[in-house]
Chains A and B, each alone.
Chain A
Amino acid sequence: MKRWLGVALGIVTSIGGFLEIGSIATAAQGGAEYRYQLAWAIVLGTICIALLIEMSGRFAVASKHTIADAMRERFGIHFFMVPLVLVFFISVLVLAAEIGGVAVAVELVTGIHYPVWALPVALLAWGLLWYGTFSIIENAISLLGLITIAFVVAAVHLGPDWHALAVGLAPTLPAKQPAHYWFIAVSILGASISPYLFYFYSSGAIEEKWDETYFGPNRVIAAIGMGFGGFLSVAVLVVAALVYAPRGMKVEEYKQLPLLLSSPWGRVGFLLFAGSLFITCIGATAEIALALAYKIAQGFGWNWGEDLEPSADARFSVTYTIILLASTLLVVVGVDPLKLTNLSMALTAASLPVAILPFLVLMNDRRYLGDHTNGWLGNLAILVISVLAGIVAIVSIPLEIIGGS
């Protein structure tokens, strides 16, 4: 019974944990400029992250190791440092984008400019981590995150062109601005396939002491949770296609984002958008700060655990405190949250081969997984998606910067 309650919570967690500033902003931009044509990128990203999440849970259950632990053991310190440093710097940018997202949500309601809110927001996230437990963060924020179902209601309410949406599920070449199209496509992939998520998930599985009976529930959580998260992202894209595209608008400023829900529902929609942005971004802030601290603590063999008192794992707790502070500084000095989001999502996509390929090697190691190693289809899917996303991102980021200036 307790296990299936865990499954329900896990699914809710995935839903709450999926949508955040990255997926909201990139889906909104995609919908505004290319209507339904980029729906395939969300679907592809969702399949990829669902596979990766299932793998990281299976890895933790079968090997009793977290991924960071095993990477250090299996590849040694030299190779451990490469993905660590890369994922670390990109995640600090993503974290700053999330803190910016929460700060923007507060600005929307109070009218006071977002950099002022960066420190209070970081303090709130830090307080959750310092004084809270894993289940409080996971469950409370995720349950509140269900507010994002508002995007689905809005999408249906506005009456999408179902045929065009179905066509968008298959990749097609754009009629205009191909470089920009691919930039948005990889940004959507980067927003969906967040490497921090599988560090977070495998640490959670160890922290909650999952045993062999969790192989099945893990599969269900990954498929339904991530699937529903992707569904929410598609809803954002659909709403954007119906709200911005007819007006000929592009999403170039974060202040344009609330229109997603204020267009159908006025003031109430505006507040629903601010609430959605606040909750999903504060959740992502806590998760990313924790994920990075997990990775460092596990890589160096320290005590770690969100459920331990900070005095029992001082290095771990001080690490997430420093990470939060560093990211907050970027928002305090007024770096634009939307630009930061676009850049950090595209960089995430560019880093995918380095972040994911060592993980795939681990997933095929019988010493860790016994009979639970990956099948060829899972290997091939992840390999192709991550390498292609990486290449397209590396090509399209400079083109976007040149084109945008």
Chain B
Amino acid sequence: MQVLLIRDVLDNQLIDATGQNAGKVDGIVLELRAGEPPRVRFVEVGPVTLARRLNRRFGDWFARLDARLGSGRGASVRIPISRITLDEPSLRIDLVAASTPIMALEKWLRRTIVSRIPWS
């Protein structure tokens, strides 16, 4: 089966191993190899990649801002292409998003805001 990277992968929905929404494919990383054709290595998930696609300077500024929020921040999460399968209408990844920085904002909001609102 033929898969077109821009049409079938980029900007498509990711579902993790537990069935949770794990963001969209914000970027695709190719590896250039001397004397050999390029190879698809990762998909990137995260606002830094998204911001860079909209505007590189805005993206760089956003990445510096994001980097201040803690170690490991300031870059998007990379998922090896080998861990992705097509599962219409989405793409499935064989890892748990909650254990990656993909869910960092979700977990932070849950901890600092949602859990403090009564009966939530």
Contact = CB atoms under 8 A, between A and B. Distances in A.
A301 B24 contact: yes
A318 B89 contact: no
Given A64-B89, A302-B23, A76 B10 contact: yes
B53 A69 contact: no
B53 A77 contact: yes
Interface string A52-76: 0000000000011100010011001
B50 to A, nearest CB: 6
Interface stretch (A146-154, A286-294, A309-317, A348-356): A309-317
Interface in B89-120: 89, 105-107, 109-110, 113-115, 117, 119-120
Q: Which of A81, A300, A314, A315 has most chain B Cβ within 10 Å?
A: A314
Contacts of A313: 106
B89 A315 contact: no
Interface in A222-270: none
Interface stretch (B12-20, B61-69, B77-85): B12-20
A309 B45 CA distance: 25
Contacts of B60: none
A301 B14 contact: yes
A88 to B, nearest CB: 15
Contacts of B12: 73
Nearest to B23: A301
Max count, chain A CB within 10 A of own CB: residue among B26, B106, B117: B106
B28 interface: no
A299 B114 CA distance: 22
A311 B120 contact: yes
Given A73-B11, A73-B12, A303-B20, A78 B113 contact: no
A131 interface: yes
A315 B109 contact: yes
A301 B54 contact: no
Contact of A309 (B105, B107, B120): B120
B106 A303 contact: yes
Given A65-B89, A303-B106, A318 B114 contact: yes
28 contacts: A64-B89, A65-B89, A69-B13, A73-B11, A73-B12, A73-B24, A77-B11, A78-B54, A80-B11, A81-B54, A131-B119, A299-B24, A300-B24, A301-B23, A301-B24, A301-B45, A302-B23, A304-B21, A309-B120, A311-B110, A311-B114, A314-B106, A314-B109, A314-B113, A314-B114, A315-B105, A317-B114, A318-B109
Interface of B: 6, 10-14, 20-24, 26, 45, 50, 53-54, 89, 105-107, 109-110, 113-115, 117, 119-120
Q: When A and B form their complex, which 3 residue pairs have the shortest distance between CB atoms, in order from nearest?
A: A301-B24, A314-B109, A301-B23
